[in-house]
Chains A and B, each alone.
Chain A
Amino acid sequence: MSEQMADPKVDTGLADPAARRALTSGFDAVPGAGKPDPILVVDNIVRQFGGMTAVDVQHLEVQRGLITALIGPNGAGKTTFFNLITGFDKPTTAGKGAHWAFDGRTLDKTSASSVAQAGMVRTFQLTKALSAMTVIDNMMLGAQNQAGENLLKSMFRGTWAKQEKEIEAKADELLARFKLFEKKNDYAGSLSGGQRKLLEMARALMSDPKMIMLDEPMAGVNPALTQSLLGHIQNLRDEGMTVLFVEHDMHVVRHISDWVAVMAEGRLVAEGAADTVMSDPAVIDAYLGAHHDTDLGDDALLTDEALEEIAEEVAAEDAEREAEEEAEGLR
């Protein structure tokens, strides 16, 4: 762990599973439950596309220092929800009761860039590694408050050369940690899908975030890399960072999340610890609604293969939807 990395974080002692359990046991596991020390509080976020309500979350709190998973069947509005709270989309209820705050700072009218500056950094489902730039350039872009990004100073190397060196050193350490150091001067486009996910995560960490939001970090990643990704995520938590991630892979969710929130049809339908929430009738309903042929209630069927199949199916559907939206030229 480098100095810079450890620096902004406080050792919360949450590397200890018992301490984490203690944090999640003092309240009822109901949708919208209040947490002891929430870092993110969301109220009354509604997003409608035409007549369809994609997201309608009345209340959600995310506990500081834990890994929270946001799961739900295809079309549950998870990614849209992510877009809304990170400033990439505007709630229909904006100015009409929508309210969310991160670490005590109200974000109701904040742009995507300011959200990131506040310390809440996200990644994307379809990785947004900048393929025509080198890996190191990708990393350097992640650092905050760079003097050289000021137009007036940029022409004078002296004003930013020192900072640039420090940033590069930090980037090198992160790259080494994510096993990308050898690729430092390669174009990001030449990396594999999994490496791009790692790069995107490492890039997000360059900004020293308080909370990192991962949109399907495991989608399209091979099993070996998945293990290493999971390890990285847990390490981040152990170092005191809050993690919120969207995932379809139940196996992953069960494995690493301290808390699970379930969305279905845009609403928050359940919350709880990973093992208990799976048996929540609302969750089974939600998944059964989407996949009649799968009995999630039957533990025997909850084999990893079966779950992975579902996850793959869902991911494929999601990717298709994504591609459609992309094709519609929404950006």
Chain B
Amino acid sequence: MRRGVAGLILALLLAPVLALISSGPASAVDTLCLPGPDKACIAGTIRTEDGPLADVKLTVTDEAGTATEVTTSETGKWNVQVEKEGPYVVKVDESTLPKDLVVDTGEVTVAAKFGVTKPALLTIRTADYSASTSKFDELVQSTVNGLRLGLLLALASVGLSLIYGTTGLSNFAHAEQVTLGGMLGYLLINQHGLGLWIGGLVVVILCAFTGWFQDRVLWQPLRRRGLGLTQMMIVTIGLSLALQYVYQYTVGARTVRVLQDNPSVREFGPVTITNQSIVAMVISVIVLAGVGYALLRTRIGRATRAVSDNPALASASGIDTDRVIRLVWTVAMGLAGLSGLLYALVTNGIKWDSGLQILLLLFAAVTLGGLGTAFGALIGAIIIGLVVELSPVLGMPGDFKYATALLILILLLLVRPQGLLGKPQRVG
């Protein structure tokens, strides 16, 4: 949970509000308090970064000074129903807290309103927990997290960009392919007990096969039919919708993990990172370097770039564009699958709609770098990853970290519409 929101958020109160989009539309607190037309609720959760705190007493005092006392449940949750609108002071009884805890915010005022449940945010943390975490340390930690996210995004966005470059198609179903990697990882490794490495390899091969297969049965025939790009784009939207619900149909709406056990953690100075993250980053760098080498040095890579630059000319000079595009789909889907698998490994897991949120980051990355340029997508992805992870440290509210990335994209389009590495547009 501390991924991203990092450092300073020491206790999380009220899961629905702070739960990031990655954990999905948050379920409401399992509260017994139902707000009505003349009833208002105040609720929250008392927890430290180690977990929820049960049996903590709180007092809720109204304007007139009448106090109500509540105790947190086993899951740290509490709620109060009040009959009057207006400000209420919520105060934690520190004597009921376990030892060695530090109360950052022990008292908060909440404006109750009929018909709604208002959250009260109280922050409590363990005494030894990074009280001394400096801004600089946070920055370093978030930078590493950002790089990690950026590398994972890069794996997927390079493929997205290559598809765009070679076919002109904005593939809205790309993120569902990322989800597919995580889902297959869950099914093969977690459910069927395949080894992580073998299973991972199988996942990537299967995903690459879906790319080959898609182009074979869908995209190539559609290109031959002369279907317009906009129409194809809407086909990808349909595919994305269908895939999402296929995942939900088969796996369910919950978040699934590839590995059950908790990962071991290493510390490098101020940076705490799981072994899995290190391995994921190393794999990403190696694979990206391999893709880059292939694009620059091999015959087929040069052909790909030629098709991407100018399909008509490439075709005229004897390059089999269909073969190149088939390969691009295969590789792009393989990379997307790998990205999804690693994403599911290094974060808390993957969910049927994880792709929805990843897709926007991918688009942002690809557009930022310049539509259709593979290396632009790489740079764009790293930037987007860093922006997402660093913006909370730099003062952006945690809820807005994805919004920040998208805002930057919109602002960039104002000044440099072709993206960082894109060529300026010409009128033909």
Question: What residues make up the interface of A, taking CB atoms closer than 8 Å to B?
Answer: 49, 83, 88-89, 320, 322-331
CB contacts (< 8 Å) of B426 on chain A: these are 49, 89, 325, 328, 330
Name which residue of chain A comes closest to B427, CB basis: A88
A89 to B313, CA, bound (A): 23
Name which residue of chain A comes closest to B425, CB basis: A330
A320 to B312, CA, bound (A): 9
The reply to whether B427 and A323 contact each other, CB–CB distance below 8 Å, is no
CB contacts (< 8 Å) of B425 on chain A: these are 330-331
B159 adjacent to chain A (CB < 8 Å): no
Main secondary structure of the interface of B (DSSP, over half): loop
- Selected from A49, A320, A326, the residue in CB contact (under 8 A) with B428 is A326
A331 to B426, CA, bound (A): 7
CB contacts (< 8 Å) of A323 on chain B: these are 312
B168 adjacent to chain A (CB < 8 Å): yes
**B226, chain A: closest CB distance, angstroms:** 14
CB contacts (< 8 Å) of A327 on chain B: these are 310-313
Interface 1/0s, chain B 293-329, versus A by CB < 8 A?
A: 0000000000000000111110010000000000000
Name which residue of chain A comes closest to B426, CB basis: A330
**A287, chain B: closest CB distance, angstroms:** 25
A251 to B309, CA, bound (A): 37
The reply to whether A331 and B427 contact each other, CB–CB distance below 8 Å, is yes
- Selected from A83, A89, A328, the residue in CB contact (under 8 A) with B310 is A328
CB contacts (< 8 Å) of B313 on chain A: these are 324, 327
The 8 sampled A-B contact pairs (Cβ below 8 Å) are A89-B426, A323-B312, A325-B426, A326-B312, A327-B310, A327-B313, A328-B309, A328-B310
- Selected from B309, B316, B428, the residue in CB contact (under 8 A) with A331 is B428
CB contacts (< 8 Å) of A49 on chain B: these are 426
- Selected from B168, B311, B427, the residue in CB contact (under 8 A) with A83 is B427
CB contacts (< 8 Å) of A322 on chain B: these are 428
A247 to B373, CA, bound (A): 36
A325 to B428, CA, bound (A): 6
**A190, chain B: closest CB distance, angstroms:** 18
A89 to B311, CA, bound (A): 23
Name which residue of chain A comes closest to B311, CB basis: A327
A77 to B427, CA, bound (A): 13
**A105, chain B: closest CB distance, angstroms:** 22
**A215, chain B: closest CB distance, angstroms:** 12
A327 to B425, CA, bound (A): 12
**B317, chain A: closest CB distance, angstroms:** 11
A88 to B427, CA, bound (A): 6
The reply to whether A324 and B310 contact each other, CB–CB distance below 8 Å, is yes
CB contacts (< 8 Å) of A324 on chain B: these are 310, 312-313
**B315, chain A: closest CB distance, angstroms:** 9
Name which residue of chain B comes closest to A84, CB basis: B427
**A115, chain B: closest CB distance, angstroms:** 13
